[in-house]
Structure 1
């Protein structure tokens, strides 16, 4: 592959080993194998950034890709809307079926084996959500009343105010990634009666630290030592759940029922850990295999390996 450099025609190649860029060099005249090209030699910092981007790309691909979900930091998800908690989890599940924003933006689509993407019908939607007629009608009415789902002709769309697939054009810290395969697995493997509890978890996403997924008061804090973790009582107060000790323990325990499976390994959705520095204090983390806004794949891998393997 020919490129111009310093006024001369040169041949350049990126040397890749184990999917990591380790060297950038010019080829000799008699060398024929060309892998890639760069107009200038990469610095160690540039190589590091390139490798990090590749690692995140691989990570996202392994989880079926992702949809961007808008997060107004330090505000419960959809808190300003009058929608049922169970419907939150249903809407988020459906959002994994939207088309890319450079094609048919936010059109709900389905893909059957051996066929191209086709617009999702009302029947498709009800079947995917696993809802009885009465529940489904109430859900769809709730979504339409809040302009979250609307119908044009025979096609259904989800609001691009909250979800988008593809380039956002906004500060990435305003969004989190909603991973397709794990979000779908999570919803598809719980009973209808658990949709409300799942909705509580999704409402906490805007309080997830953008890199570490710890539920905290300052999710954009860069220094991990300064993260102000939220306690179980603070979380329950925020969600409007009774702070009676027995009820809080019951709520916490109910969150351990949610699991996802990736490459045959089961992981918990919600983890709780304990800090013993002067006082015993619990804190909570949402599994970054489901939602994650970070840029350091090594950190998310450490979290997963430390807290979620089961």
Structure 2
């Protein structure tokens, strides 16, 4: 590599001016010293911890958390389509108290929200019906500076408090799903979030159950009843929910009994990587031979 020189000292070498290796007189151990006004000491452990913090923050930026135990407060006042709008909009929350921000980190205006929700032109009234309902029920909060935040009671980005039942939604996937399915379908997905089992991603009545044999998985009829839709809607819509060539929800049939589970690359509760079983189930791609 060719280095640029500056008065006889290369650009690279000037960072080491004043740095020298000394040896401990008693132990012979090599030690590095440098001027305190231009250098500081960081141990390997500190460097590793710093990298882990930065990596963790980067990972956190790729997903948001939804608080499972209170989402019924949202679904009780918003339509399916409006729940779909919210699921997309919450992808834009920042670490700053749930503030909605654009890609360049500037606060989102209602015009910006309409753009990401694809509600320009004749769909303006649809947006404001949704927006006003969210504000009225404090799902969206207007801040003193005129910016807007998603209420962190429902959705947030950052570190989840210990003991809080949450599920991760991967933002990039959600944004792409919004372009591939109807808002009503995304709203149906939203209504399913409180039903996701912690360990297996199965849709069930007891998502906190720790004993696998006691997980009460929901069949098609039970699933429809749980979220207030028809059995036919479950049958029609779930097989069509795909993104990036992957199914959003898998139907698992054992002995003629059906159950359902979410794709862990889109929605997932654990902080570890999906296990081999989940990865195997979702290896099946739409339109490909099995």
Question: Normalising TM by the smaller chain, what interval?
Answer: 0.7 to 0.9
After TM superposition, the structure 1 = structure 2 runs for residues 270-285 of structure 1, keeping only pairs within 5 Å, are 270-276=249-255, 280-285=256-261
1:254 to 234, 237, 258: 237
For the pair 1:167 / 2:162, whether they are aligned, the reply is no
1:187 to 158, 178, 191: 178
Give the Cα–Cα distance (whole angstroms) in 2 for the partners of residues 87 and 232 of structure 1.
23
Q: Secondary structure at the match of 1:138?
A: helix
Give the Cα–Cα distance (whole angstroms) in 2 for the partners of residues 79 and 98 of structure 1.
17
Q: Once the 2 structures are TM-superposed, how far is the Cα of residue 211 of structure 1 from its aligned partner?
A: 1.8
Q: Secondary structure at the match of 2:92?
A: coil
For the pair 1:309 / 2:284, whether they are aligned, the reply is yes
Give the Cα–Cα distance (whole angstroms) in 2 for the partners of residues 138 and 229 of structure 1.
36
For the pair 1:267 / 2:246, whether they are aligned, the reply is yes
Match of 1:211 in 2: 199
Higher strand share: 1
What is the aligned-residue RMSD (CA, Å)?
Answer: 2.8
After TM superposition, the structure 1 = structure 2 runs for residues 77-116 of structure 1, keeping only pairs within 5 Å, are 77-78=72-73, 81-100=76-95, 104-111=96-103, 116=104
User: Which stretch of the first structure deviates more once superposed, 209-218 or 145-154?
Assistant: 145-154
Larger-Rg structure: 2
TM-score (norm 2): 0.73
Aligned residues: 238
Match of 1:36 in 2: 44
In structure 2, runs of 5+ residues without a counterpart are 1-27, 33-41, 286-290
Checking the alignment, whether the CA contact within 8 Å between 1:179 and 1:290 is kept in structure 2 is yes
Match of 1:287 in 2: 263
Checking the alignment, whether the CA contact within 8 Å between 1:147 and 1:159 is kept in structure 2 is yes
TM-score (norm 1): 0.69
Q: Do the aligned partners of residues 288 and 146 (structure 1) sit closer, same or farther apart at CA in structure 2, a change above 3 Å counting?
A: same
Q: Do the aligned partners of residues 167 and 296 (structure 1) sit closer, same or farther apart at CA in structure 2, a change above 3 Å counting?
A: closer
Checking the alignment, whether the CA contact within 8 Å between 1:232 and 1:282 is kept in structure 2 is yes
Match of 2:15 in 1: none
User: Which stretch of the first structure deviates more once superposed, 162-171 or 177-186?
Assistant: 162-171
Q: Once the 2 structures are TM-superposed, how far is the Cα of residue 223 of structure 1 from its aligned partner?
A: 2.2
Checking the alignment, whether the CA contact within 8 Å between 2:250 and 2:282 is kept in structure 1 is yes
Give the Cα–Cα distance (whole angstroms) in 1 for the partners of residues 116 and 224 of structure 2.
30
Checking the alignment, whether the CA contact within 8 Å between 2:90 and 2:155 is kept in structure 1 is yes
Q: Once the 2 structures are TM-superposed, how far is the Cα of residue 64 of structure 1 from its aligned partner?
A: 5.8
Give the Cα–Cα distance (whole angstroms) in 2 for the partners of residues 288 and 68 of structure 1.
14
Q: Secondary structure at the match of 2:213?
A: helix
Q: Do the aligned partners of residues 187 and 260 (structure 1) sit closer, same or farther apart at CA in structure 2, a change above 3 Å counting?
A: same
Which of structure 1's runs of 4+ aligned residues deviate more than 3 A? Answer: 28-32, 75-81
After TM superposition, the structure 1 = structure 2 runs for residues 125-204 of structure 1, keeping only pairs within 5 Å, are 125-131=113-119, 132-152=123-143, 153-172=145-164, 174-190=165-181, 194-204=182-192
Match of 1:297 in 2: 273
Q: Do the aligned partners of residues 259 and 35 (structure 1) sit closer, same or farther apart at CA in structure 2, a change above 3 Å counting?
A: farther
Give CA-to-partner distance per residue, 1:202-248, whole Å, 9 cap, x none.
Answer: 21111111121101122112222221111110111122223xxxxx2
Q: Once the 2 structures are TM-superposed, how far is the Cα of residue 291 of structure 1 from its aligned partner?
A: 1.5
